[in-house]
Amino acid sequence: MFLADVIGHVVATKKDDSMQGKKLLLLRPQLVDETNPTQFRNGVNTIVAVDNIGAGEGDLVMFCQGSSARQAAGLKPLPVDAAIIAIVDTVDVLGQKIYQSS
């Protein structure tokens, strides 16, 4: 599982029939900064993930990739490589809160 900021959404009007009605969000992975573990740093890639839980732009989410993504409710038969599985409330690192949802 990984953490990411939701930075946008993806609209695809023509897609595999099995993906009709699925919300697609654009994610920027977040890593705990090695030089200052009291903050995150952006990952270098972006990910498109299916959202079944109602996340939106600006949320910090937990997501999984690969075959684990298809274990989320209703995704098993779909061609999905990334799925949002939680909206994060808080993150503590080394006893310090580095994220608190607003």
pLDDT of 73 reads 85
pLDDT of 89 reads 98
pTM metric for this prediction: 0.92
Bridge partners of 90, per DSSP, are 100
Secondary structure (3-state) at 29: strand
Residue extents of the structural domains in the chain: 2-100
pLDDT tens profile 63-85: 999 989 988 888 888 899 999 99
CATH class for the region spanning 2-100: mainly beta
Average pLDDT taken over every residue of the chain: 94
| Amino acid code (one letter) for 37 | P
Identify each DSSP E strand in 11-70 by its residue range: 23-32, 40-42, 47-51, 60-65
